[in-house]
Structure 1
Amino acid sequence: MQPNSTLTVRRATPDDAGPLITVLVEALLDGPVADWLVPDLDDRRTVYFRYFKHVLHHGLQYGRVDTTSDLSAVAIWYTRDEVPLLASTDHYYAVEKATGKYAPKFLLLDAIFETHHPHAPHDYLAYIAVDPRHQGQGIGSALLTTAHQTLDATNRAAYLEASNTRNRDLYLRLGYRQGAPIHLPTQGPLIWRMWRGQPTDGTPAPFPADLLPRRRPL
């Protein structure tokens, strides 16, 4: 699908928080990861609202949050060179407070993603969401294309995790390479690691050699 050219992509501000939290909740409420994290449908919307309120404000403070002129979509990026910004005591405490009895799986997901994160410098797309009422209109592609143009201008790579095959295939069309999937435990879904580096011969750049589960020093 071609990117939507009728919308302006801009940086989000704290004033946009309310609508963008709603977009994150509504867009990500259903799916294999949501089913794994919060199996109880009656609890999921409440937990997701508290969780994505933290996620969005964390992104505004420590990362880059992109949105569209009509606030129909949001993407949360982090610059990752050496120190992971998400791995902080304050973040873990906030996640635990927001998710309550479901915190063990949310924290486990963070830990698994961090373990499989590439070491090479890149920008990390933590979340991207499009209002379900506006999906299928190229809005997500527009958000990504704008970000990629900025990354390409500075020779930066991008990394993300795809939670379903439809999104994975979109990223493949946008120049990402697929890595071996992550198998979430306790009958969880597959997660695909996706890397977009600078092509050298017109083809997508390969995964960096260090994109392997890292071992902590003993």
Structure 2
Amino acid sequence: MGVAIRRAGEGDRADVVRLLDEAFMWDPVSTWVFPGEEHRRRRHGALMGAFFDLALGEGYIDITEDGAAAALWWSVPVAAAETDAEVDGPAMLRQAVDPENERVEVIGRLTDAAHPTDRPHEYLHMIAVRPDRQGEGLGTALIAAVLERCDEEGLHAYLEASSARSRVLYERLGFTGAGAPLDLPDGPRMWPMWREPRETT
């Protein structure tokens, strides 16, 4: 049986942010950004909310009909013109979410530096599956739906895998390594990954 997927809107914000908060609370990258559990429980949801807003503004959010899984995608054009270069996204995100936490800005700078800028692509920023529903193929279904469109339209796709386990899943979907891994200072490793569109018949 197929997985029913729909496009999320502003009215889904509370539910999707709650899902992201729950799914990523103990993720290695989240625990690096917010090393103290008490502080993480206070501020992590605000970061997930900022990511929801960015995805809604820069791309789109797909959600399973039952709300158990969601994927945040950005539609990334070729590198912005010089006039846009003065916008400091990582610093603005830190100021909005957790001004005293340098790591919010550090991870943004590291991922921005690794992100390809020479070709338009779909960027899978985050994908979350409710912990009690993991292993059912919901995440794969969300990704595959977009990759099918990428293949039809000749679009590339990009992401950063935040664990060796997720990297294996993405490799199965056609992603390959895109440059050197990202090593967060005294923290976990992330793997930039790129996918060329496949020819459709």
* 2:104 is the counterpart of 1:73: no
Alignment check: 8 A CA contact 1:11 1:65 kept: yes
CA contact (8 A) 2:69 2:128 kept: yes
Aligned residue among 100, 115, 119 for 1:117: 115
User: Which residue in the other structure is 2:7 paired with?
Assistant: 11
- C-alpha change, 1:94 and 1:188, in structure 2 (3 Å) is closer
CA deviation map 1:138-171 (0-9, x unaligned):
0000000111111111000100000101100000
Among 44, 52, 58, the alignment partner of 1:48 is 44
**Structure 2 partner of 1:172:** 171
Distance 2:127 2:79 in 1: 22
User: Deviation of residue 176 (structure 1)?
Assistant: 0.7
RMSD of the TM alignment (CA)? Answer: 2.1
How far apart, CA to CA, are the structure 1 residues paired with 2:66 and 2:98? 29
Q: Deviations over 1:85-142 (max 9, x none)?
A: 9x8447743432212322x111111111111111222111111111112111100000
Structure 2 equivalent of residue 24 of structure 1: 20
Aligned ranges 1:56-205 → 2 under 5 Å: 56-83=52-79, 88-89=87-88, 92-102=91-101, 104-118=102-116, 119-199=118-198
Q: Structure 2 CA distance, aligned partners of 1:38 and 1:90?
A: 19
Q: Is the 8 A contact 1:54 1:95 kept in 2?
A: no
What is the CA–CA distance in structure 2 between the aligned matches of 1:79 and 1:183, rounded to whole Å?
22
Letter in 2 for 1:150: R
Aligned length: 195
State the SS of the aligned residue for 1:79. strand
Give the TM-score normalised by structure 2.
0.88
Does the C-alpha gap of structure 1 residues 91 and 35 become closer, same or farther in structure 2, counting only changes over 3 Å?
closer
AA in 2 matched with 1:138: G
Please, what TM-score do these two structures have when normalized by structure 1?
Answer: 0.82
CA–CA separation in structure 2 for the residues paired with 1:16 and 1:191: 29
1:45 to partner: Cα distance? 1.9
Structure-2 separation of matches of 1:142 and 1:172:
15
Letter in 2 for 1:63: G
